[in-house]
Amino acid sequence: MRSFFKTAIVLCAICAVAAVVLALVNKVTFPEIQKYEESVVLGALEEVSAGYKIGLKADVSDNEYVSYYYDLKEDGNIKGYLLGLKTKGYGGDMTLVASYDIKGVLLSAKLVSDSETPGLGKKAENPAYMNKYIGRGSEESPIPVSKNMLSSADSAAVSGASMTFNGISRALAAGSDYVKGVK
């Protein structure tokens, strides 16, 4: 019985030391991880800004898909908006950044983070994946939210990753609608 208590005390001590070490490692690495994640998002913002100057960030709390937006300016005039979008795919949460002109037409988009299935949903990380959405968002050419709104080649390209396509397309369409409502 004594050896049982001795073993339990040793295991508790090992767990306590491991917990303290992990807490210290987290304290040291967390700021660096946060800086890295911010740099990834800033790089993505620059990448999709369509050459416009990025204004100040405004947080959005009353929209299911839009987290924040920036004004896109040229010569002091607002030419569009850059939105941070959130949605769900097969693997869980996905975040995107997308730029729109002032009429809600998509200029550029990039998937920033996801947990999609390699070989299927991960195809959305490829910049060419977003081409099926670029230039769409007007009344005449809405952002495709179903496969029947795509060309046969694009429809075949997203088959097997329907939840990824649905999540991204709904977020991009919601972004377009959001921009159309901004005055």
How many independent structural domains does the chain possess? 1
| Calpha distance 138→136 (Å, rounded) | 6
Domain-located, residue 4? no
Q: Which two tokens stand for residue 138?
A: 């007007």
Domain-located, residue 168? yes
pLDDT digits (tens, 9 = 90+) for 74-100: 998 999 999 999 998 877 888 899 999
Domain-located, residue 17? no
Q: Please state the φ and ψ torsions of residue 109, each to the nearest 5 degrees.
A: -150, 150
Domain-located, residue 149? yes
DSSP 77-138: EEEEEEEEEEEEETTEEEEEEEEEETTS-EEEEEEEE--PPTTTGGGGGSGGGGGGTTT--S
| Cα four-point dihedral sign 111, 148, 145, 70 | positive
Domain-located, residue 139? yes
Q: Fill in the amino acid letter for 92.
A: G
CB-based contacts of 50-57 (< 8 A; 24+ apart in sequence): 50/80, 50/99, 50/107, 50/108, 52/79, 52/80, 52/99, 54/82
pLDDT digits (tens, 9 = 90+) for 92-131: 888 899 999 999 999 999 888 776 667 656 666 677 778 8
In the predicted model, what is the mean pLDDT of residues 7-21?
Answer: 92
pTM: 0.75
What is the per-residue pLDDT for 66? 94
User: Of the candidates 179, 110, 176, which has an alpha carbon nearest to the alpha carbon of residue 144?
Assistant: 176
Domain-located, residue 144? yes
Domain-located, residue 83? yes
Domain span including residue 91: 49-181
What is the per-residue pLDDT for 133? 85
Domain-located, residue 66? yes
